[in-house]
Amino acid sequence: MKTDKLYLVGFMGAGKTSVARALGRRLGWRVEDIDHRIEERERRRVGEIFAKDGEPYFRTVERTVLNELLPERHIVIATGGGTFVDPDNRTAMLSDGAVAWLDVPLERVIARVPADGRRPLASDRVQMEQLYARRQAAYSQAHVRIDASKPVPEVVERLLEWIGY
């Protein structure tokens, strides 16, 4: 799939941020991280936004940040785990660039994502598992599914192959 823009989607702990950085270096493209942009804009951490203003507010900021990135080209975007789950965001992303789902098994997510409050939706493990199951249908609408249980360099090679670089 020839493209000048790549979105990485998938659950928390899939490695979206690390893969985006490595891929950006290989392509010589800019790298953006939706969560980082939200934190910069709000001048506070994701955990604090959820705690003080709740998830609906966080999702509004997330949507704004995504919309700001729509005109950008030659860019790799690491999304947050929920960005692609929103139907409007999903439609926008699918028509704007190439969307790759970094798929990891739940056991890997559990091992990789600490319940430390940095990710508010990961603090209750039972709820996190339910969320993982519910979101599969959304993630599966990405243009491609990549097995992200592989090491980062392998995931990067697979993505480069897919976009024809």
User: Given the rule CB under 6 A, which residues bind ligand S3P?
Assistant: 12, 16, 35, 46, 80-82, 119-121
Residue 28 or 85 having the CB closest to ligand S3P: 85
Is residue 23 a contact partner of residue 76, using CB atoms and an 8 Å limit? yes
Residue 5 or 119 having the CB closest to ligand S3P: 119
Please give the sequence-ordered ranges of beta strands (E in DSSP) within 1-97, or none if there are none.
5-9, 30-33, 75-78
Please give the sequence-ordered ranges of beta strands (E in DSSP) within 58-154, or none if there are none.
75-78, 98-103, 144-147
The token duo for 33 is: 């991280």
Shortest Cβ 104–ligand S3P spacing (Å): 11
Shortest Cβ 164–ligand S3P spacing (Å): 27
Shortest Cβ 51–ligand S3P spacing (Å): 11
Residue 12 or 27 having the CB closest to ligand S3P: 12
Is residue 34 a contact partner of residue 66, using CB atoms and an 8 Å limit? yes
Closest CA to 57 of 42, 77, 69, 73: 42
Beta bridge partners of 42: none
Shortest Cβ 165–ligand S3P spacing (Å): 24
Residue 80 or 97 having the CB closest to ligand S3P: 80
Residue 61 or 98 having the CB closest to ligand S3P: 61
Shortest Cβ 2–ligand S3P spacing (Å): 27
* Parallel, antiparallel or unpaired: strands 144-147 and 75-78: unpaired
